[in-house]
Amino acid sequence: MSLLNQHKKLNSIHYRIFGISWAGWVFDFYDLILFTFLIIPIGHELNLSTIMLSYALSASILAAAVGGVIFGVLADKYGRKPVLQWTIVIYSIGTFLCAFSTNLETLILFRIITGLGVGGEWATGQTYVNETFPAHLRGKFGSLLQTGNPVGFILAALVGGFLAPIIGWREAFFVSVIPAILVIFIRRKIPESDVWIMNNVSSGKNRVKKTLLNKKNQFFELFTKKYRKLFFKALLLAILGSSAYWFTYSWLPTYLLQQNISISKSALWIIVNQVGGIIGLLIFGFIADKFGRRPAFSIFATTMAFGLIMITIFWSNIQAYPPFIFIFMFIIGIGTGIYGGYGPIVSELFPTEIRSTALGAGFNLARGTQFLTPIILAGIAIYYGLGSGIFLGSIFALSVAIFIWTFPETKGIELESLE
């Protein structure tokens, strides 16, 4: 019987795996980003300064890095399906507990719990999809999976920008336990990755023998002579991409509010931006599968940089023309299509036994380096304004456009050839 990634046509199992992995990523990013929309009311009620709130945001980003490494290793050891369930439950509980925050310490603790689950879910879901979809569709569906990011952002904007002012910030956190229900569907509706099964449990006897004779630690395997150069390149690509993202979005809602834009209108601009992100991710997948991963990264990273320059350096020129703000926020969203490429390209560079570890460690260690970003931006804002800090995102985006050309082109590669 052929593997799922060897099917010429997709079947119901493919769509169930994709649908549940996508939903997990939607609520993953929703839980992470909702906090940025609730910063102002949380700060007022708990009497926390901007710098103090940046510590809580940074803590969740740093925890995501730790969670990505831990759960990436666990997914390679115990399977994609169980770890996907664990991570969804953890980030749902963490966000729910945020409603009970009474001071900075409890807020940081609950954001750390959220971050641990958030970091683990992304790599597991990406690995799940990339291992089970055929090579000629991997770029499209890997990128389509990443649309969970802007959809989660839009959901956070709706809850944080429109619902929270009505029901309160604590109640907004309460409703965020709903994603845990996904675990019921995961347990009943989707199978384990057959590529992972083939690589790990060909027979009970061989499994015992492999465990006794080959006690490799997947995380440290990334730093062996065979993989370390490739892993450090993947890590650097993720750091540049994460820097472009977090320098843009960690304080973007606040930046818009500082331009005398109302909370509801600020949320609307964010939604426009994230709709552009969905479209950008859809287009990125087609371009990546047709023309290659490297050209797609360059085109979209440059597009993102252009939009960022316009809403920061040239804000005074465009603010009198609201349609221009609409256009450039949309363009930035289109450019974030680059985030649909990281999962497929890393999956196409590493073998099954360390694939989830490489994805989780690379993406989330990079995201962990961003724990200083909210603090740096808050510091820059004191002297130069938030716009100057957000502008730095364009520099990192242009760096992605250039650095991607140091990678081999992996379009259409069969994963079995990597074993």
pLDDT at 418: 73
217 belongs to a structural domain: no
Which residues lie below 8 Å from residue 82, measured CB to CB, with a gap of 6+?
Answer: none
Candidate from 70-79, 98-107, 185-194 with smallest mean pLDDT: 185-194
Structural domain count, the chain? 1
Question: What CA–CA distance (Å, rounded) separates 386 from 354?
Answer: 40
With pLDDT > 70 as the criterion, what percentage of the chain qualifies?
A: 94
Candidate from 125-139, 192-206, 274-288, 342-356 with smallest mean pLDDT: 192-206
Q: How confident is the model over 82-93, as pLDDT tens digits?
A: 888 898 889 889
Identify the domain containing residue 113 by its residue range. Answer: 11-210+224-407
Question: What CA–CA distance (Å, rounded) separates 54 from 418?
Answer: 42
Q: How confident is the model at residue 394 (pLDDT cuts 50, 70, 90)?
A: very high
Which string of DSSP letters, residue by residue, matches 189-213? H-PPPHHHHHHH-S-HHHHHHHHHH
* Count of residues making up the chain: 419
And the tokens for 291? 């023309």
Q: How confident is the model over 240-273, as pLDDT tens digits?
A: 999 998 888 877 877 887 777 766 677 778 888 8
And the tokens for 98? 């945020």
Q: How confident is the model at residue 1 (pLDDT cuts 50, 70, 90)?
A: low
Q: How confident is the model at residue 332 (pLDDT cuts 50, 70, 90)?
A: very high
205 belongs to a structural domain: yes
pLDDT at 207: 44
4 belongs to a structural domain: no
197 belongs to a structural domain: yes
Q: How confident is the model over 16-48, as pLDDT tens digits?
A: 999 888 988 888 888 888 888 888 899 999 999
And the tokens for 261? 């834009």
Which string of DSSP letters, residue by residue, matches 20-82? HHHHHHHHHHHHHHHHHHSHHHHHHHHT--HHHHHHHHHHHHHHHHHHHHHHHHHHHHH-HHH
Give pTM, 2 decimals. 0.75
5 belongs to a structural domain: no
Q: What is the Rg, in whole angstroms, of the alpha carbon atoms belonging to the chain?
A: 21
Question: What CA–CA distance (Å, rounded) separates 154 from 33?
Answer: 10
pLDDT at 335: 95
32 in Cβ contact with 85 (< 8 Å): no
pLDDT at 216: 54
252 belongs to a structural domain: yes
Asked if the model's pLDDT at residue 297 lies above 90, the reply is yes
Q: How confident is the model over 355-386, as pLDDT tens digits?
A: 888 888 888 788 778 877 877 887 888 888 88
Q: How confident is the model over 184-224, as pLDDT tens digits?
A: 777 677 888 888 888 775 544 444 444 433 445 677 888 88
* pLDDT (mean) for 115-133: 86
Which residues lie below 8 Å from residue 118, measured CB to CB, with a gap of 6+?
Answer: 28, 29, 31, 32, 60, 63, 64, 67, 87, 91
β strands within 87-245, DSSP E: none
* pLDDT (mean) for 379-404: 90
Comparing CA positions, the residue from 163, 129, 151, 131 lying closest to residue 278 is: 151
Domain of 166, CATH number, reads: 1.20.1250.20
315 belongs to a structural domain: yes
pLDDT at 215: 41
pLDDT at 8: 84
Comparing CA positions, the residue from 189, 201, 194 lying closest to residue 132 is: 194
Asked if the model's pLDDT at residue 2 lies above 70, the reply is yes
Mutual angle of helices 352-368 and 228-249, in 10-degree steps: 40
202 belongs to a structural domain: yes
Q: How confident is the model at residue 318 (pLDDT cuts 50, 70, 90)?
A: confident
| Mean pLDDT, all residues of the chain | 85
pLDDT at 211: 40
Burial group, residue 151, by CB count within 10 angstroms (0-12, 13-18, 19+): buried
30 in Cβ contact with 154 (< 8 Å): no
